[in-house]
Amino acid sequence: MSGTWIAVLVTAVSCYALKLAGLTVPPRWLAHPRAQRFAALVPVALLAALIAVQAFGRGHALVADPARLTGLAAAVIALALRAPFLVVILAAAATAAGLRALGIA
Amino acid sequence: MADTSAEPVKRAARDGVALGLAVGTSGLAFGAAAVASGLSVAQACVLSIVAYTGASQFALAAAVAGGGNLIAGTASAVLLGSRNGLYGLRLASLLGFRGPFRLLAALGITDESTAVALGQPGRAAVRAGFLATFASLYLTWNAGTLAGALGAGRLGSPNSFGLDVVGPAAFLALLWPRLRDGRTERAVALAGAVIALAATPFCPPGLPVVLAAAAALGAALLPAAGAPGLGEDLGGRLSKGLGEDPRGAGAADERPCR
């Protein structure tokens, strides 16, 4: 078996095992209030980090892609207007695609 | 969200399917990148079928492409996968799945399914949102991987359709109610975003997001972080729904820590 195959299989199985480990942690391990708070806040921290990195990141660089940021601004406006989820993501994608198609951004 | 009908469940399923279909198209990009990196079509597909987590898959492909150290590449891919384990901690109580079904549900843990599950008002809707996102994203991501690996990635850039904005816009929409209502959560979100951006120039792609878990750790350990509401949040949110929580953010903040 080639080294690449071993790397692929180890990565694949380990990534699945990590998911399963998190999902099947015995409840008493999380019984402490601080552990509960950590588990409750982790998705908030990670998803906020993802939003930031996907908005501004390009590899190692931080860039301000005008189409992307305007698309996200459209999402924020839609959210402030209490638009449904699908409208929010459509507004964001359509704004970014529209600006790019027009060559504006 | 006061309705007792099946409406929240339907809405959760619909939102999950839509997000899965939109984000899954980036499987095309992964398939194309994987083959360009020197992975075979079969290797790209095994990663999407079993690992099923974009950041880790891209990281391994990048390591192979660099002709770099496969052990380091594998290690960084697995490290990136650790965030799904952290999501799992949260999803375990939200989903409440028991028995062997957890073996299947575990596979479905991604940023997207977590975000959708987190944004739902009750357990039935949480489960519907999670499973709908899982099913639609899994199918699209894997079909995209295969098509991309076979050469369809050359058809055009997903960016021209604005698909690069779908992910962040969706995560923002799903976090929005929690950011609006919770002072602690706003602080944690802001800290997480700052940590990730600050780390981006210095870390391999994907790692900054894992580092952002430090923001949650800090808030969980701070004794006066205004967190009393969050411990109850595990059960309270499920039974009451986000919009109906009688404890305002301010009230939660003033409560003494037990």
B65-96 per-position pLDDT tens digit: 877 688 888 988 898 899 999 999 999 999 99
Length of chain A equals: 105
What is the per-residue pLDDT across A28-62, written as a single tens digit (0 to 9) for each?
888 888 988 998 899 899 999 989 998 998 878 89
C-alpha closest to that of B106 among A40, A16, A27: A16
> Which residue is closest to A23 within chain B, CA to CA?
B88
**What is the pLDDT, as a whole number, of residue B206?**
78
The verdict on A6 touching B (C-beta cutoff 8 Å) is yes
**What is the pLDDT, as a whole number, of residue B258?**
28
As a whole number of angstroms, the distance between CA A16 and CA A77 comes to: 37
Residues B136 and B220 both lie in one domain: no
Chain A contacts of B184, Cβ < 8 Å?
Answer: 41
Give domain status of residue B78, yes or no: yes
Give domain status of residue B176, yes or no: no
- Give the number of domains in chain B: 2
Residues 6+ apart with CB under 8 A from A16: B50, B51, B52, B106, B107
Neighbours of B203 (CB within 10 A): 16
Residues B20 and B145 both lie in one domain: yes
- B85 phi and psi angles, rounded to 5 deg: -65, -40
Alpha carbon of residue B130 to chain centroid: 11
Among B89, B121, B156, residue at a domain's last position: B156
**What is the pLDDT, as a whole number, of residue A22?**
95
Interface residue of A14, A18, A63 to substitute, partner B, most B CBs within 10 Å: A18
Q: Does the predicted model carry a pTM greater than 0.90?
A: no
Neighbours of B187 (CB within 10 A): 18
As a whole number of angstroms, the distance between CA A40 and CA B91 comes to: 9
**What is the pLDDT, as a whole number, of residue B228?**
45
* Half-sphere exposure for B75 (CA within 13 Å, toward CB): 6
Interface contact flag, B52 A16, Cβ < 8 Å? yes
**What is the pLDDT, as a whole number, of residue B25?**
84
Give domain status of residue B205, yes or no: yes
Give domain status of residue B207, yes or no: yes
Residues B105 and B230 both lie in one domain: no
B70-95 helix and B111-118 helix, angle to the nearest 10 degrees? 20
Give domain status of residue B170, yes or no: no
The verdict on A27 touching B (C-beta cutoff 8 Å) is yes
**What is the pLDDT, as a whole number, of residue B244?**
34
Give domain status of residue B227, yes or no: yes
Q: Which of residues 165-224 of B touch A (CB under 8 A)?
A: 165-176, 178, 184-185, 188-197, 200-202, 205, 208-217, 219-221
Give domain status of residue B29, yes or no: yes
**What is the pLDDT, as a whole number, of residue A1?**
67
Interface contact flag, A22 B84, Cβ < 8 Å? yes
Chain A contacts of B70, Cβ < 8 Å?
Answer: 3-4, 6-7
Interface contact flag, A50 B82, Cβ < 8 Å? no
- Which residues, given as ranges, of chain B have pLDDT below 70? 1-5, 68, 152-158, 223-258
**What is the pLDDT, as a whole number, of residue B36?**
84
Residues B124 and B202 both lie in one domain: no
Is the distance from CB of B249 to CB of B119 less than 8 angstroms?
no
**What is the pLDDT, as a whole number, of residue B238?**
37
Give domain status of residue B169, yes or no: no
Residues B97 and B60 both lie in one domain: yes
Is the distance from CB of B185 to CB of B178 less than 8 angstroms?
yes
Provide the residue range defining the domain that includes B94.
Answer: 9-156
Among B156, B172, B191, residue at a domain's last position: B156
Tokens matching residue A92: 């964001």
Residues B54 and B114 both lie in one domain: yes
pLDDT at A72 over 90: yes
As a whole number of angstroms, the distance between CA B254 and CA B99 comes to: 40
Helices and strands (H, E) in chain B, number of each type: 14, 0
Q: What is the DSSP string of B142-163?
A: HHHHHHHHTTGGGG--GGGGTH
* Confidence category of residue A21, pLDDT binned at 50, 70, 90: very high
Interface contact flag, A49 B196, Cβ < 8 Å? yes
| DSSP conformation class of B225 | S
The verdict on A60 touching B (C-beta cutoff 8 Å) is yes
- A68 phi and psi angles, rounded to 5 deg: -65, -45
